[in-house]
Structures are given as C-alpha cells and as structure tokens.
A = this chain, B = another copy of it.
C-alpha cells in the first residue's frame, strides 16, 4: 500500500536552518512531550537514515513544504524543488510565498508550479510580520489559488504565531467560507481548538484537517479520531510532522488508533492524493 506522510521535513538544504534541526534540544524535548523518542535520522541529520526509516515503515512519499518564517526559519521553493528532484518519487513539494507583495507572491506560485511543486503553504502567524488567516493582504493570494485550483495548506494550529490568538479558528472559518472552492488543509489541525476546528470542517466542505503531531498524546485526540471515522473520513490527512516525531514510530502508533479499516486506507494516502491532485 502507498503511504503519503503529509508533513515530513527531510534533513536537507534549507530545512537544516529551521529550528526543527538547528535547535535539536528543543525539538527532542517536544518529541518527549508527545511521549515519543527522537528519530535517529533527525538527531544525525541523515537523509539516508530517514529514507531507511521510511522504507522500513512503508512510507512511500513525504510532503515537504517550503516556509517563509520569522519565527521558525525559511526554506526556499528552490530548495524544495531540488529535494523533490534529487530523490525521485520520495517527496512531494509544496511552495511558500512572501505575502508582503502580492504580485511577487503570485509569481512565486507560478514559478514553483513550473518547477513541479503542487500546492502553496501559508503560515500567516509565522511571517516576519505576523498576521491572521483572514488578513486582507492574503485575500488576493486566496483568490488566485481558488481561481487556479491550487490546494492551499495553512499552518493554523500549534505554535503558529507569537501567541494563541493566531490559532483561533474564527479566522480560518472566514477564509474557508469566503473561498468555498479553494481546498484548504489545516496543518497542526487547528490544535488546541479541537472542538472548534471540527465545526469548521463540519460546516466547510473544502476544509481538510491534518492534526499531525498534535494528534499524538495531546488533548482532544479522541474527538479528532471520531471525526476521522465519521464525517471527515475523506478529509482527514495523515502526517507525522517529522522530525518532531519519527515518521516510522508515528505510523506504528497511528495504526493502533481505533480507525475503521476502510477509513485507514483513505487516511494513509488517498485523501492526501486527492487534496494535492497527485496520483496515488
């Protein structure tokens, strides 16, 4: 069976400059908070070990997303495209943008798509100038993505901005309602606003949820799982958030969840493929 890990950042290029690799002690502490052990590949910053762990687990592909962040560091679209190219069939690339200039941002998207990246990752709270998801400056970007059928990933959970206000799901709800044809995947699953984001996804059929690391050992996980088994069975995305959690260990843990078998297969690859418009 094909498995797509929707959030997996390999120890390569710009990713090594982001805090998930440059601050290993912080990362390993967070890993422990999830009740998990650090991945050998993460600590060794070894792509070979990572590919080995993925192979052992049967994880076919990982989604590697660019980012443009004041808080967490930047990974350029060029780096993401180079990684996709260097490891054929192992990574699916998603672009990031600089939202401060809408014209330039759209050119970034066009260039990234030409280079094979399949979607856009927005991290409003983590930009050098933090903003909320429904900030007016992002609306031209949303309009462009909706008009061109480009899937949008948004980090709208966890420590997505300087404080907890940046994950309040009201902002995401407005965006999803204002752009009903734009597919929108919520990375970190809106956590900790579990009940509230589950209503957003209940009401807005263009919303996909990827709770990733925050599904693991965190508050509200039973509610995420219930929705995955129910009305979110076609819009729940599987993701480890590697290197914060070992991709291999996360999969082993995920398989222990009480998820119906036919749903499990959707979660592990089909939903991500549908969202990203890629073949399984």
Contacts and interface: CB of A to CB of B under 8 A. Distances in A.
A164 B199 CA distance: 8
28 contacts: A33-B202, A33-B230, A35-B230, A158-B199, A159-B203, A162-B177, A163-B170, A163-B174, A164-B170, A164-B196, A164-B199, A164-B200, A165-B170, A168-B170, A191-B199, A192-B199, A193-B195, A193-B196, A194-B219, A195-B219, A195-B220, A198-B218, A198-B219, A199-B219, A217-B226, A217-B230, A219-B220, A219-B227
Given A163-B173, A164-B200, A194-B219, 14 more contacts: A33-B202, A33-B231, A163-B177, A164-B169, A164-B170, A164-B199, A168-B170, A192-B198, A192-B199, A194-B195, A195-B220, A198-B219, A217-B226, A217-B231
A111 interface: no
Contacts of A147: none
A191 B202 CA distance: 12
A223 interface: yes
A219 B230 contact: no
Contacts of A192: 195-196, 198-199
A272 to B, nearest CB: 21
Interface string A27-39: 0000011010000
Tell me whether chain A's interface is mostly helix, strand or loop, or mixed. helix
B219 A223 contact: yes
Contacts of A35: 230
A174 B162 CA distance: 8
The residue among A162, A202, A219, A227 with the most chain B CB atoms within 10 A of its own CB is: A219
Contacts of A191: 195, 199
Contacts of A219: 194-195, 198-199, 220, 223, 226-227
